[in-house]
Chains A and B, each alone.
Chain A
């Protein structure tokens, strides 16, 4: 178990490396990555039972990233956990590389290929259902974007998860309030989100999705028997870098050299502050 302060530091390191990767490759979903970095760190460093040396371990917990476009942060986390060499991150998006702009299960640690939004929840229902049939003892976590919820397939999955009583399933909505075009609530109204999921038969928790302590706490709590769990994680898109935070146009913008310097110095500053805790 890692201390909360260590997890927070880890999240900042991951943010730095993710940005470097995007900056090198001149492509990536900067805002989308930074928004869910804390969620991935909580899952991979604290909550999930996984073994990078044995990626197909029986009864491992599984993670499905339905918002596949935030691949850069996933690659960074997987490399840091030791699923592959960190040096490979430099090849992200390059000719011939297996590290592409979406999760790709040619790489150990990735369970399912994603990138087309609205698939992850139903796929997770299938995994959870098979787990139940086998009597397996693992948990599955699925991360979705909030704009993604406009896909009808999400609601088919929502219905099915409750119908099958999948208490081995936790879904997380990265509720950063933005998508490509602008504010998600302007693009397609979805409030009250909590009421919708409750009506679909889920147990719903609404939390600050950039708060490590709360994240770990909420993710660790077991599901109620026979009920899938939804965590509506209120996050900041672009979290951690002042000029990227809450800006729709940073969805897939790449920092310039100057922006990169400022971003890194802001993150270093945050690291310093945590060292003094």
Chain B
């Protein structure tokens, strides 16, 4: 495996936004006392005129962004995913998606990145709620390379989107950024024939690790990266499911309403396919860091490999 990566996805985002904002003065970043958490302090230093600080006011953040988008700006509103996707959800539904204003909503420290800060700071319902809003893309990059590619595309698209990023650096899933990336197109990270792991965001790396472990045991596990929860690549999911007959979806989200649900929806008319949904259970979580919780809830590479092995046997 490659050297330990120390660059968080949010840092990769900041680099792209700085580049894009230098090219296009309509690119605006909005923060809610969140520029540090979003790694956007560098953006604020270099492009102070293109950064709007609204204070600790996430609802205001989203509506102001929508107003600016209406005037032709390209706002990126960055705030912790937990607050952005819950506190401001009506502003997202009405002012952004329904009014069709081109706001990119960047949910930082998503999932369980905030660890021991607890339920208020976890965003484990965001896929469920954003996925159900028409005219809103829902995206979650797997590593820093994918983050970079995704934000380059987002800087030029005109569709509202919610993008969830984790807090800590994740191990690379791609060697570099020289690959084809398209919103709505799933990516095969590893080919395999016995089962398929369908993952998104930080669970992609865990699924890849599981696939490596299984390979040593003679089991061939495909890994499919669903960086776009919406638009959702149903075709790729169906194809992988048909080819392997065994599906394990794994997500840093409630087992309800997220990636697993989207996979199950796609497979509802398929025959002879076993699908296991792995994610965070419908209860208050134990306290711990991301990796402690991944292990606790069977979402780390080793646990996933174990599950895959059982499924094949």
Contacts and interface: CB of A to CB of B under 8 A. Distances in A.
A93 B287 contact: yes
A152 B60 contact: yes
A91 B280 CA distance: 23
A211 interface: no
Interface string A96-127: 11101110100000000111111000000000
Interface in B70-106: 82-83, 86-87
B56 A100 contact: no
A118 B56 contact: yes
A180 B54 CA distance: 13
B305 to A, nearest CB: 22
Closest 4 CB pairs of A and B: A188-B55, A115-B120, A150-B55, A93-B116
A148 interface: yes
Interface string A55-82: 0000000000000100000000000000
A170 interface: no
Contacts of A188: 53-57
Interface in B96-133: 114-121
B286 to A, nearest CB: 5
A89 B255 CA distance: 32
B56 A150 contact: yes
A207 to B, nearest CB: 24
A74 to B, nearest CB: 13
Contact of B118 (A96, A104, A118, A151): A104
Q: Is the interface of A mostly helix, strand, loop or mixed?
A: loop
B33 interface: yes
Nearest to B53: A187
Contacts of A96: 286-288
Contact of B56 (A27, A113, A114, A147): A147
5 contacts: A27-B116, A68-B120, A93-B287, A179-B33, A181-B35
A147 B33 contact: yes
Interface in B28-82: 31-37, 53-57, 59-60, 82
A180 B33 contact: yes
A187 B33 contact: yes
Nearest to B83: A116
A225 interface: no
B59 A152 contact: yes
Contact of A150 (B35, B57, B87, B121): B57
B292 interface: yes
Nearest to A100: B118
User: Among the interface residues A94, A95, A152, A179, which one has the most CB atoms of the partner chain B within 10 A?
Assistant: A95
A115 B117 contact: yes
A101 B117 contact: yes
A113 B122 CA distance: 14
A93 B286 CA distance: 11
Given A147-B56, A151-B57, A102 B287 contact: no
Contacts of B116: 27, 93-94, 97, 100-101
Nearest to B86: A116
Contacts of B56: 117-118, 147-148, 150-151, 179, 188
B288 A101 contact: no
Interface in A150-180: 150-152, 179-180
A184 B120 CA distance: 23
Contacts of B60: 150, 152
Nearest to B82: A116
Interface string A175-210: 000011100100110000000000000000000000
Interface string B263-289: 000000000000000000000001111
Contacts of A118: 56
A68 B56 CA distance: 14
A102 B82 contact: no
Contact of B287 (A94, A116, A117, A187): A94
A100 B287 contact: yes
Contacts of A27: 116
Interface string A222-263: 000000000000000000000000000000000000000000
Contact of B292 (A95, A104, A117, A152): A95
B63 to A, nearest CB: 10
B120 A102 contact: yes
A152 B118 contact: no
A27 B289 CA distance: 12
Interface in B230-284: none
Given A113-B120, A115-B118, A147-B33, A95 B57 contact: no
A101 B55 contact: no
